[in-house]
């Protein structure tokens, strides 16, 4: 199989340094690119006590009962992961989960692209629960195991589909530079349309929000499951 071609870079200086997704040794402003070596992240990954464990159902307020019912009666079916801590703010949870329901189940991107974006975001935040929850879904949606493994290792996958490659470039630029260059934007908008641009960006933002929440509250993996992601830097 031919080696995948690097996307063309315009003559003008582009915004992105096209290095590996996590940028291994890259530093911004003298700080590790992702800050993944910090004590707080290490503690979160190593199973330090859950800061916001499940609230007993008999202690729920009416607002919490309503928000929980919206989750369990919808496509998710159960109250797990980020929704455990989110229940502390039931109105926020209610509004946020509706955004997530659309982004996860109802965009026109295809489940393979949605799950690819979710895994990239989980890797960015070293979010163990999110990765564990979605890696099997990504495989089922058609993302190759070697592609998933490369993302897990913080490397650029070697054999992405054309759609995956353009999404990889888009998400990487957005994360590293808080914007997207014209050549990368053009590829995604030509393939997925303006709605696709909004939905791809929304997926990045939504799963970043969940990743931050679960890292802060130290949402645990299910009992007996070992953290699937290594902490960076290696």
Residue-level pLDDT at 233? 55
| In the chain, % of residues over pLDDT 90 | 69
- Specify if 225 maps to a domain: no
Q: How far apart are CA 7 and CA 169, in angstroms?
A: 8
Q: What is the mean pLDDT of residues 184-203?
A: 97
User: For residue 198, what are the domain limits?
Assistant: 33-217
- Specify if 24 maps to a domain: no
- Specify if 224 maps to a domain: no
Residue-level pLDDT at 47? 52
| Measured CA distances, 96 to 19, 90, 130, 176 (Å) | 33, 10, 16, 25
Asked if residue 169 lies in contact with residue 9, where contact means CB atoms within 8 angstroms, the answer is no
Give the total number of structural domains in the chain: 1
- Specify if 230 maps to a domain: no
pLDDT tens-digit readout, 80-97: 899 999 999 999 999 999
Asked if residue 204 lies in contact with residue 171, where contact means CB atoms within 8 angstroms, the answer is yes
| Predicted TM-score (pTM) of this structure | 0.79
- Specify if 97 maps to a domain: yes
CATH value at residue 50: 1.20.1290.10
- Specify if 160 maps to a domain: yes
- Specify if 11 maps to a domain: no
Q: How far apart are CA 70 and CA 158, in angstroms?
A: 41
Neighbours of 211 (CB within 10 A): 24
- Specify if 198 maps to a domain: yes
């Amino acid at each position: 199989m031919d080696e995948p071609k690097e996307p063309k870079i315009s003559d003008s200086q582009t915004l992105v340094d096209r290095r590996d997704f996590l940028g291994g040794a890259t530093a911004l402003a003298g700080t590790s690119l992702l800050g993944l070596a910090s004590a707080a992240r290490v503690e979160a990954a190593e199973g330090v006590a859950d800061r916001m464990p499940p609230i007993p159902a008999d202690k729920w307020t009416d607002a919490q009962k309503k928000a929980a019912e919206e989750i369990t009666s919808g496509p998710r079916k159960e109250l797990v992961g980020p929704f455990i801590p989110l229940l502390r703010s039931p109105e926020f949870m209610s509004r946020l989960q509706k955004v997530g329901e659309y982004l996860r189940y109802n965009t026109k991107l295809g489940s393979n692209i949605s799950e690819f974006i979710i895994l990239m975001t989980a890797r960015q935040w070293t979010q163990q629960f999110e990765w564990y929850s979605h890696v099997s879904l990504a495989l089922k949606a058609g993302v190759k195991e070697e592609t998933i493994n490369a993302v897990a290792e913080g490397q650029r996958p070697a054999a992405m589909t054309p759609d995956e490659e353009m999404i990889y470039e888009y998400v990487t630029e957005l994360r590293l530079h808080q914007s997207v260059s014209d050549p990368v934007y053009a590829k995604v908008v030509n393939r997925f349309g303006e709605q696709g641009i909004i939905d791809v960006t929304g997926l990045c933002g939504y799963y970043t929000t969940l990743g931050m929440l679960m890292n802060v509250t130290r949402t645990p993996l299910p009992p007996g499951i070992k953290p699937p992601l290594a902490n960076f830097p290696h």
